[in-house]
Every structure is written in C-alpha cells, then in structure tokens.
Structure 1
C-alpha cells in the first residue's frame, strides 16, 4: 500500500473519544513523523473532508474528525443492516427458484455485490461477495444505473469506455440509454450473456423509506432455465421478494 496513505490513516487513529481534537504538534509527537510531512498529510485529509480545522494560530493548528468519515460510517452501517435484513429473504427465494441470488449496490461509479446465496445446482456461478462490476453490464448493475439521478447517470456513461465481455460487439451509448429508460418503465432489468456467456440475469429494485433505490435483487443462472413458464415464475418470485425486503427496511 502507498506509504503516504498508511501514514494519513495512522493520523486518523489518534483521534479518540478522549482526544477528539489534536494539534499539529501533538500529532507530530504521537506519530513520530516529521512535522512538514504531518502538515502535508493534514492538509490533504482536510481537503478530502476527513478532517476539519477548528482553530489555527501562528504557531499551531487544531483538528478534529470531519463529516466525510460520518458519511462513510453511515454508508457502511446501512450496507451491513441491508445485508442482515435481506439474507433470509434471499435464502427463501433461492429455495423457491433454485438459482443464484445476489444483492448489488452502487459503489462510487461501479456496482458491488455485497451478498450472495447459491443454488443447489451442480453448475454454479462463482461470484464473490465484494466483486465490482461496471454499472452497464448485467441486470443488477444496469438496474441500479437506470435509477441513478440523471446527472450522475450521465457522468457514469461519459466516463466509462462501455467495454463488453470478450466476443461481444461494442456497447452503443445511445442504445444503452434507451434500454435504461425501458428498465425504469417496466420496473425490472434483464440481461443475457453480459457478464458470463450462456447466462441470464433478472433484477428488481429494493427501495428504502425515502422511496430511493438502494440495491438490486438479482437472480442469475443458465439461460435455458429462464424460458417459458419458468421465466414467469422467476420474475414473479423475485419481484415479490424484492418488495418484501423493501418493506422490511421501511419502504
């Protein structure tokens, strides 16, 4: 890991309930890092919102933890709570349809898989919890992209190269925009072979108490399982369970 990052994180550790505010001199003494280096790190942490300056004098400056850390703390707590609440419902859905179930959230400009329940089938999808994926590939990520605010959605589309998996044609941005519009209108997303060949995914939104989409409940499996009557069963069950999770977190 970058040594400057490690040193900056070490400085944050010195802020405790007993010592919520520390000066540049105190942090230099505690960390045994040269004062000019500590000063540069504190300036960077302040600019990023991880620290806030409470007092400055000619000889020293005083700092306390910034709002950004509180925002990140709330975000982590929300994710942990969402996983805890959603897991039993995901297990129930997996028992009903015997396909892989994922819980996916937006993480900066990517989609992150934060929970998973496997099927009992011999051939499984080996998606790891913590996996990141582009927001434009797969039913779970695309559903989240479709429900992002327009300005943030546009930012993701403009900054992404929109590269598909191997042996697929390039993704056309305008075509993707039309698909995102359809996802919002129909209330679910479906994808075929976008992350893994010969697989299909179907996803429904999970809403919080503010009526915001905070995650997608994604079902994935071999494409030949997602046909005819079985497709209808999977869609209806996934929509029902997504609604139950939403209700459980206050929707």
Structure 2
C-alpha cells in the first residue's frame, strides 16, 4: 500500500462539522505527523482540489475541504440513487427470466458492475458487485462505450487501442450497430458459452448513465426465449429511466 496516499487521506478525516477549517499547526498536532510531511501532503491535496488554502501568514496557514470532494460526493450519491431505483426492477426482471441481472456504469476507461440480482438456476454465471471490465468487452461495457459522448469515446478508444491489440474499425462498426438497434448483445466475450444482452438507462437529461444487462448460457438465449429476454429487459430499462426522470414517448403507457 502507498503510505503517502494513506497519510494524505487521513488528513481529510480531520475535518468535521465542528472543525471545518484547520490551521497547519492544528493539523500537525492532531495527525502527529512531522510538520514538513503535513505541509507536503497538504500541498498535494491542494493541487488536486481536495483542500483549499483559505489564509496564509508567515507563521501559519489555514485550510478547508475543497470543491473536488463535493463533486465526488455528488457522483456517489447519483450512483446510490441509481441503485436504489434500479434494484426493484432488477429483482422483478430476474424473477421473470430467472437469469442473472447486472447494473453497469462507466468509470473513467472501465465498466463497473455496481448491482446484481442472481438467478436460482444450477447453471449460472459467477460474477460480483465491483467487478471491472474493459469497455470493449461484454454487452454492458460496449453499450456504455457506444452511447458515450463522441469526444470522450474517441479519447477512451485511442487509449484502449494504444495498449491493446484491437481492430479499431471493427469496434467502431460494432458500436455503430449497437446505437442503431438500441441494445447490445455479446457472445462469449467475458465467459465462454455465455450471452449478454444490455439496454441503456437514461437520466433526466437524456444521457445514458448505466446499462441493464442480462446474462446466461447460450443454450437459454435462443429463438423465442431470446426475443422474450430482449422484450422484458428493454421494458425494465425504460421503467428505470422513467423513474430517473427521463421523458420519452416510448416510456408512456409502458406494460408492467
């Protein structure tokens, strides 16, 4: 573990409702760290936006928490709200299909699985909440990449193609097809012999904030059953979007 990072984060914990602003001297005394170390850590936190220097004198300086923490807190609260709204619909969908259901979001250049409802079948996928995946691998991650803002998608793809052996033009064709049909489907991309189907979840601004993904063995994702899975997954994704404030004609008079 990186001890410098741990020490820097421990300084953030010193700020409370009763101590919203602290001096360098106070931080040094409470943290029991050498003053030069505290000053160096505070300088790094200030540079990153986690700390703001409010006053400075020859003898001492004063600090308070920075706006960056509020931005990160807002992102966390959005994810918690998304999970809270999505979970009942995920449970209902899992009950209808008896397949594993995931909620997937993008974090920087990766996809993160933030919620999961398991299947009761003996033959099922073994995944976990918190799992990370490249954005080019699997139906949920690729759907998020396909619906990402153009500038951000270009930057992500440049980085992915730089460090991995990816055929950029083939990936672009795949992403274009996903946007055109409105959902993503993948065969054996994360686990051999499995299929994944994902539909977008929109927020009140019309941005895709998550993918609702259903996964299972290929043998159960064929013919009429595949059509049924797609239909129910799309309806569930639309209901979640509606509760997040998304306004769309498709969301009117949705079946339950």
Determine if the TM-score, normalized by the shorter chain, exceeds 0.5. Answer: yes
The yes-or-no answer on 1:188 pairing with 2:152 is no
Counterpart position of 2:79: 79
Q: Deviations over 1:184-207 (max 9, x none)?
A: 121111111100001110100011
Report how many residues are paired.
246
SS in 2 for 1:87: helix
Q: Work out the CA distance in 2 between the residues paired with 1:227 and 1:3.
A: 52
In structure 1, distance between residues paired with 2:161 and 2:23 = 44
Matched with 1:99 is 99
Aligned to 1:58: 58
Worse-superposed segment, 80-89 or 127-136:
80-89
Deviations 1:56-98 (A, max 9, x none): 2222221110111111111111111211111111111111112
> Which residue in the other structure is 1:26 paired with?
26
Deviation at 1:162, TM superposition (A): 8.0
| CA–CA distance in structure 2, aligned partners of residues 79 and 242 of structure 1 | 16
Q: 1:162 to 1:235 in 2, by over 3 A?
A: farther
Q: Extract structure 1 runs of 4+ deviating beyond 3 A.
A: 161-164
Out of 205, 218, 222, the position equivalent to 1:223 is 218
- Report the equivalent of 1:167: none
Root-mean-square deviation (CA, aligned residues, Å) is 1.4
Contact 2:111–2:141 (CA<8 Å) still a contact in 1?
Answer: yes
Q: Distance in 2 between matches of 1:57 and 1:210?
A: 46
- Alpha-carbon deviations, 1:151-187, whole Å to 9, x = none? 21122112125888xxxxx531111012112211211
Alignment match, 1:13: 13
Aligned mates of 1:70, 1:18 — CA distance in 2 = 18
Q: Once the two structures are superposed, what CA deviation does each residue of 1:5-39 show, in whole Å capped at 9, x if it has no partner?
A: 11111110111111111111111111111111111
Asked if 2 retains the 8 angstrom alpha-carbon contact of 1:143 and 1:203, the reply is yes
Instruction: Return 5+ residue gaps in structure 1 as ranges.
Output: 165-169
Listed as ranges, the gaps of 5+ residues in structure 2 are 247-256
Deviations 1:121-163 (A, max 9, x none): 1111010011011111000011011111122112211212588
Range that drifts further, 76-85 or 34-43:
76-85
In 1: Cα distance, 2:52 partner to 2:147 partner? 33
Contact map agreement 2:15 2:65 (CA 8 A) in 1? yes
Residue 166 of structure 2 is matched in structure 1 by: 171
**Which residue of structure 1 aligns with residue 150 of structure 2?**
150
